[in-house]
Amino acid sequence: MGKFDTYKIDFKTLPHGIHELEYKLDNKFFTDIDGDDVQKGKMKIFLTVKHSSLMAEMTFRLEGTVQVPCDRCLDDVDIQIETQNRLIVKFGKEYAEESEEIVTIPEDEGAINLAWFIYEFIALAVPMKHIHPPGKCNKTMSSKLKKHAAKNIPTDEDSDELPLEDDDTIDPRWDALKGIIENDIENE
């Protein structure tokens, strides 16, 4: 039995109609799938399959927590995931991904493994920016980051935020462009 056989749906043996399935994912799932974005987590997947002779419409509801490296301190940060996704499986001559939501599988095989689709749904639900709440980053790493920053950063124990640049430190080369814009406005 393969690592991901649990996530395989065989439409040849699945009766037509509506079916409810539930999967529980743990760290082993993420380790086995070996994706770049998420390597740890605990998720519940609620799947509704509407199966007919021509196609199957699947609705996924994903809930749980994944752990990804913090963008600042590189320690794991917990990210809450709650999302819904849809996948339509059509039957045809050969495998094809027609769009993000539509997949054609060979009719003679009649089966699809959902493991990678589930992983992609989770990875796409992770926000682009993943950082700890203020004050929760690794203190050692935060102090090193502040030490090696281009500007002196005031040490505030409750904040991991890096200050924005002051308006006074604008590159002087931009001043020439400001003159062009001001001249354009005056000439109108």
pLDDT of residue 100: 87
Total residues belonging to the chain? 188
Is pLDDT at 1 greater than 50 in this prediction? no
Contact 161, 136 (CB under 8 A): no
Is pLDDT at 26 greater than 90 in this prediction? yes
Is pLDDT at 145 greater than 80 in this prediction? no
**pLDDT (tens digit, 9 = 90+) per residue, 93-105?**
899 888 889 999 9
pLDDT over 90 for what percent of the chain?
Answer: 45
Mean pLDDT of 113-141: 89
